[in-house]
Amino acid sequence: MRSPTAAHQITDKSETERRQRPLSSACSRRRPIIGPTLMTAATYARVSTLDQDPAAPIEQLRTYCRARGWEVREYVDHGVSGAKQRRPGLDALLQAVRRRMVGVVVCTKLDRLARSLEHLVALGGEFKALGIDLVVLDQAIDTTTAAGRAMFGMLAVFAEFERDLIRERVIAGLRRAKALGKRVGRPRTQVDRDQILALREAGLSYRMIGHRLRISAALAHRLARQTPVDAG
């Protein structure tokens, strides 16, 4: 005959096992095995004029990111000069960077981001502070390495220098054209003052008149205020 103490011990042991089984299964459900997360890359492409097609650099960026196994968020500025710091595509990219939605920014050339040294330094400093890497394909820049960070600094200086050279060549060309008696700038638009007055009488605003006649609203307003002698 078993002692009550022994029977009680066996019952306690089996009850303990029953309690432990659901606990271990619950823990396994709460702690699933998580694989490595993919890096999300923000690709940026820009062309300066509407006549240019950004398809080639976009595909180049996609191919590079696929080769490295990165997820891609694409940002494009079409027909926007690199001299402008505020651009729709770049602004959206920076917003994603500041929200830590991406881990690396990828572009084809350094001057696609900016051509101003001040702007480049500001972008590089912000990326570094947020822990975001920068990869520039054509210049083989990768800021995860010391060499890449050094190359980024040197190319930023060269980009500013190249922009200064281009500006100097343009100014020299305009001066030469003026010296030869050539007209520089947009051709003069032949606008009939009576036509502007007729459109005003029809109830159109100066902005609408300018849009219809392909002139600025300020010019339409100025021509409308001129006397017939001044207009002639």
**pLDDT tens profile 111-155:** 888 767 677 777 888 888 898 999 989 878 888 778 877 877 776
Q: Tell me, yes or no, whether 183 lies in a domain.
A: no
CATH classification at residue 133: 3.40.50.1390
Closest to 41 measured CA to CA, from 68, 78, 76, 60: 68
Looking at the fold, whether 197 and 156 belong to one and the same domain comes out as no
Looking at the fold, whether 129 and 68 belong to one and the same domain comes out as yes
Q: Tell me, yes or no, whether 172 lies in a domain.
A: no
Other CB atoms within a 10 A radius of the CB of residue 132 amount to 20
pLDDT higher at 162 or 69: 69
Q: Tell me, yes or no, whether 200 lies in a domain.
A: yes
Looking at the structure of the chain, the number of domains it has is 2
Q: What is the mean pLDDT of residues 164-168?
A: 83
Q: Tell me, yes or no, whether 168 lies in a domain.
A: no
Looking at the fold, whether 205 and 142 belong to one and the same domain comes out as no
Domain end (from 143, 161, 179): 161
**Confidence at 71, pLDDT banded by 50, 70, 90:** very high
Would you tell me the crossing angle of helices 206-213 and 217-225 to the nearest 10 degrees?
110
Looking at the fold, whether 142 and 64 belong to one and the same domain comes out as yes
Q: What is the mean pLDDT of residues 186-196?
A: 74
Q: What is the mean pLDDT of residues 45-74?
A: 93
Looking at the fold, whether 92 and 154 belong to one and the same domain comes out as yes
Catalytic residue among 3, 25, 28, 48: 48
Looking at the fold, whether 51 and 103 belong to one and the same domain comes out as yes
CB 137 within 8 A of CB 108: yes
Looking at the fold, whether 216 and 131 belong to one and the same domain comes out as no
**Confidence at 63, pLDDT banded by 50, 70, 90:** very high
Q: Tell me, yes or no, whether 28 lies in a domain.
A: no
Looking at the fold, whether 147 and 210 belong to one and the same domain comes out as no
Looking at the fold, whether 48 and 142 belong to one and the same domain comes out as yes
Looking at the fold, whether 70 and 136 belong to one and the same domain comes out as yes
Task: Supply the Cα-derived Rg of the chain in whole angstroms.
Answer: 33
Domain end (from 161, 184, 219): 161
What angle is formed at CA 59 by the lines to CA 55 and CA 61, rounded to 5 degrees?
A: 120
Report residue 188 as tokens.
């003069």
Looking at the fold, whether 154 and 206 belong to one and the same domain comes out as no
Q: What is the mean pLDDT of residues 156-168?
A: 77
**Confidence at 173, pLDDT banded by 50, 70, 90:** confident
Q: Which domain holds residue 213?
A: 193-231
CA–CA dist 141, 126 (Å, integer): 17
205 is a catalytic site residue: no
Q: Is this model's pTM higher than 0.75 or not?
A: no
CA–CA dist 102, 71 (Å, integer): 9
Q: Tell me, yes or no, whether 19 lies in a domain.
A: no
Kindly state the helix (H) or strand (E) to which residue 41 belongs, with its residue range: strand 40-47
Please give the pLDDT value at position 220.
84
Strands 40-47 and 104-107: parallel
**Confidence at 21, pLDDT banded by 50, 70, 90:** low
Q: Tell me, yes or no, whether 178 lies in a domain.
A: no
